[in-house]
Structure 1
Amino acid sequence: MRQAIIDDWDEDDAPDDWDERSPRRVRRPLPWLRTILLSGLSIGVLVYLAQNQEKTEAPRPIGAIPASVLIAPPPQWRPISASPPLYGIDQDTLPLRVQAREHVSGGREDTLVLGGFGEAGHGRISVVQGFTEPSRSFFVDIVRRAAEAGLSVTRDAQSRLVPTKFGPVEAAAVTLAGASEQECQAFRFADPEANFAFQGWLCGGGEQAVDEAQLACLIDKVSLLRTDDPSLKAIFARAEAQRAQTCGPGARTASLGVRNPGRP
């Protein structure tokens, strides 16, 4: 019986780790250990390839910046020649300087400056035609205009209406400051339908302030010297028809802070 069992023994039934060349059994590596080693090796190869790819990749060129970003928009106003002048002020005491500029929309602004800041009778008026200014408060308008002249507004009073040849003009007492301070009357006027407006100030001398009559005289003395614009001609023709005849030589000296010697 024992011999039969031995005869029935088949080589295929022998353990895998049996080595026929040796009477001892040989242990093979465990399956899970092989899996770990292969996985670690694969991960190492992938990391190595990724690092080499980053080094060999050429840097991406920065996209071209659009030309619209590099080019600044043109300024809304550009200076133009004021000779010959478009407007004038009927006066013969203080020197008059004129500056002009043109808006991109085609509008024009002419600034007339009487004397220098700090002088008695110093005045400034900017006339805008063909362009409608944005709506602003009176104080903001005066502060903006003062800044353009290198000045600041340190005090302002409640505005009121002053009658002129152009119609009621908004005005208020202000203190302008630069190298010194000067008491002035600031003003502004606008006719949106005619695309015509002006604003500025007239200053007194020393501690003497400018009154409404002196301010009205300055505005009434603004005259149109030359133009081919029929609408502008119509504005001044209508204004001259409404002009009060109270701004003669005596009022001219009064606008400089000098006592009027008599009624013209």
Structure 2
Amino acid sequence: ATLRCHAAYSYYKSLQKAAITTQCGWRRRVARRELRKLKMAARETGALKEAKDKLEKRVEELTWRLQLEKRLRTDLEEEKAQEIAKLQESLQAMQLQVEEANARVKKEQEAARKAIEEAPPIIKETPVIVQDTEKVNSLTAEVESLKASLQSERKATEEACNACTDAEARNAELVKKLEDSERRVDQLQESVQRLEEKLSNSQSEIQVLRQQSLAISPTGKSLTTRQRTMIVPRTPENGNVTNGETKVLSVGNFISDYRN
């Protein structure tokens, strides 16, 4: 009976050791699988974070360039407006000078005509005409000079208008570029938001996987909580069963059967 009890106990211990070894191997395999998943998730999270940082830097750079282009466009518009205002003032001043010169010429011509008509002697008529002719010629030269200045001012005004047109075209191109930049900034912000959401989801999945991996820790306590049973071949000695049938016994019943 003692020999049978020792044999049964040895068999039970070998079964227990085999069960513990199997459980440890399975848990080690599951833990390695979970660790592999955690490493892959961590690598994906790092790549997402790096992409997010790059996109944020790109958004900041585009925003800075957008503000710089807006400031340059505003400065250019102000400069062109001031230049156009100065040219318009100069043109108005030249027009006033031309009008005044024309008025003086007309007045001198009227005075000369009256002087010629009212001159009594024929002898004194000639120097008066010469003097008036000199005045008219000087005034005509002044008018021509003013006309030339007016033409130059008009030419400068036309050049300024052409420059203003070119500036407006450049401004339109800058506006188009700014709109494209704003559109790209919006797209990049949407991409950053999607990456943040994906990063948050990945972090949540990693947290869940960590909790699961912590929950799957190899301990031997689960074996004691389970029912300590084993499958023993039934023979005529431990039960009236033939043809190799088996029954499930607890450890206490198994030892008591061997003692009997």
Common fold: TM-score over 0.5: no
**Which structure's relative contact order is higher, taking Cα pairs within 8 Å and 6+ residues apart?**
2
Structure showing the higher helix proportion among its residues: 2
TM-score by length of 1: 0.21
Structure showing greater Rg: 2
What's the TM-score, normalizing by structure 2? 0.21
More strand, by proportion: 1
